[in-house]
Structure 1
Amino acid sequence: MDTTFETITLKNDEMPVMLVTGSAKRIGAAIIQAAHYQGYRVIIHCRQSVQQAQALAAKLNTAREHSAAVIAADLSLINDVDLLEQFVQKIIHAFGRLDVLVHNASRFYPTPLSTIDHNHWDELFLSNAKAPLFLSQALLPYLKRYQGCIISLLDIHAQDKPFEHYTVYNMAKAAHQMLVQSLALEAAPDVRVNGIAPGVNILPDNSSDQAIDHQQQRRIINSIPMQRIGTPEDIAHTVLFLAKASYITGEVINVDGGRRLTLAGGSD
């Protein structure tokens, strides 16, 4: 991992706290590790990847005691007022405060026209739009106490460049982007709200149904002005920048190697 961040020395109970949803692995884990190195106490949220989350927390707690916690929960709990309140109390109980909320958890899969059903709609909108809204609303009073911020991971396909065969996902991410801008108005001046729109910053697992072959990878790389796939650390750096950028709110930063400049929409 890149360790170019300035090291911060604070008493443990003074260290800011960051919660990242869906952070047991991949981009979420990269954000957690970068934030921890920067001096944050971190809350690792997961749904099913409990073993990975606990291993990550153990590693971070070995480096600095009582600095990482794990909360396992299905974000569908937002549909139940009591369960949502219990989830919020677990978050605050972990370290007694919350400074940064990062919406990273996301379901992603194709929904070609003529195959879309209500389950697709409910699942993709829940993780990519509804949960970020209701979690933000529930945690806003705690973020206000420390002039905190909310950072949402969006997608370069969320605006003007739809990804072919991903209609429901595109719609959900577009809704999430509007949520960022709307909350930035309502939460100001106490809480800043910004977004990050990744391009190709991590490839699907080879074992997943979204896996792409070498030829597809080469075609993607050729479409990126920077001529390379991004990394989870690129996203993590941007999260940490926005967490400290005290005069930026309502913005969406594309972290895509310039791909959005050449992207015409569609599947490539």
Structure 2
Amino acid sequence: MIGMKPLGLLALFAIALAVGFAAPARAAGPAGDGAAGTPPPGHTVLALGDSLTAGYGLGPDAGFTHQLAAWLDARGLDARVVNAGVSGDTTSGGRSRLAWVLDGLDRAPDLAIVALGGNDMLRAIEPKLTRANLAAIIATLKERDIPVLLAGMRAPPNRGPDYAQAFDAIYPDLAEQHGVRLYPFFMDGVATDTDLLQPDGLHPNAKGVARMVDGIGPLVAAMLRGDGAVDDDTTAGRH
């Protein structure tokens, strides 16, 4: 995520643990694609994030938003998933562009997935700032009556125990404080599996994205259906 590598988070996880996106499903392009005309039927999901959401290094049919839309369609949910991912983005960047993203949509999303913070960690940004930015993002979405699914990030041990403890606590704390749902770790099952990463060893390949979608998908589906819970405890998060 920093410099030439928008998401070195995956590499950091690998190193740390080695030592100790077809009709009717639609994946809309960058937010604003649906700004004019009649809103399409079905659900609209906004995915606000960084390179993981943007689909860095992947074809248009292989990124997170396309794969999530297809996954939902296969389970009877007609959903347009809007790609509001920007490679290299931090929580500060997401916070600054959120109102513009929302104002550019043809209608308010039925759900917003917030998947930001990994770049903050890579840049060793003070966790208090990351927490404040994410809290502001959640508050903006809630002010517009948009349900929020917060996708957590985690700091590897090589960031040091104090930083890791402060950073990792951000997501469950905010989910509980603001009454939003939490998916504990966006990269669960992918971050350190080389079979699920691109040749750069940093970003998920199509199979890796599929694993991410399989993980977070049940919670997205449950929220769109208005269910109070999901079967898989690992995706249940918090209310």
TM-score scaled by length of structure 1: 0.47
Corresponding letter in the other structure for 2:99: Q
| Other-structure match for 2:152 | 153
| Other-structure match for 2:214 | 234
Q: For residues 203 and 43 of structure 2, what CA distance do their matches in structure 1 show? A: 38
Residues 173 and 238 of structure 1, relative CA distance in 2, 3 Å threshold: farther
| Other-structure match for 2:181 | 193
Q: 1:101 aligns with which of 112, 116, 120?
A: 112
Corresponding letter in the other structure for 1:195: Y
Q: For residues 132 and 239 of structure 1, what CA distance do their matches in structure 2 show? A: 23
In structure 2, the gaps of 5 or more residues are 1-20, 26-38, 205-209
> For the Cα contact (< 8 Å) 2:112–2:146, is it kept in 1?
no
Cα offset for 1:169?
7.8
Structure 1 residue 25 corresponds to structure 2 residue 55:
yes
Structure 1 residue 47 corresponds to structure 2 residue 86:
yes
* Other structure's SS at 1:207 match: coil
User: 1:3-152 maps to which residues of 2 (within 5 A)?
Assistant: 12=40, 15-22=43-50, 23-25=53-55, 29-35=63-69, 37=73, 38-48=77-87, 74-75=89-90, 77-78=92-93, 84-85=95-96, 87-95=97-105, 96-105=107-116, 107=118, 123-125=123-125, 130-131=129-130, 133-146=132-145, 148-152=147-151
Q: For residues 222 and 164 of structure 2, what CA distance do their matches in structure 1 show? A: 20
> For the Cα contact (< 8 Å) 1:43–1:91, is it kept in 2?
no
| Other-structure match for 2:200 | 207
| Other-structure match for 2:13 | none
> For the Cα contact (< 8 Å) 1:152–1:194, is it kept in 2?
yes
| Other-structure match for 1:62 | none
> For the Cα contact (< 8 Å) 1:100–1:150, is it kept in 2?
yes
> For the Cα contact (< 8 Å) 1:196–1:253, is it kept in 2?
no
- CA deviation vs aligned residue, 1:150-198 (integer Å, no higher than 9, x gap): 221335xx6xxxx5xx42287666545433332233323xxx2312334
Residues 243 and 170 of structure 1, relative CA distance in 2, 3 Å threshold: farther
In structure 1, the gaps of 5 or more residues are 6-10, 49-72, 109-119, 212-229, 256-268
Q: What is the number of residues matched between the two proteins?
A: 179
Quote the RMSD (CA, aligned, Å).
4.7
- CA deviation vs aligned residue, 1:17-66 (integer Å, no higher than 9, x gap): 32231212279932553146443333323434xxxxxxxxxxxxxxxxxx
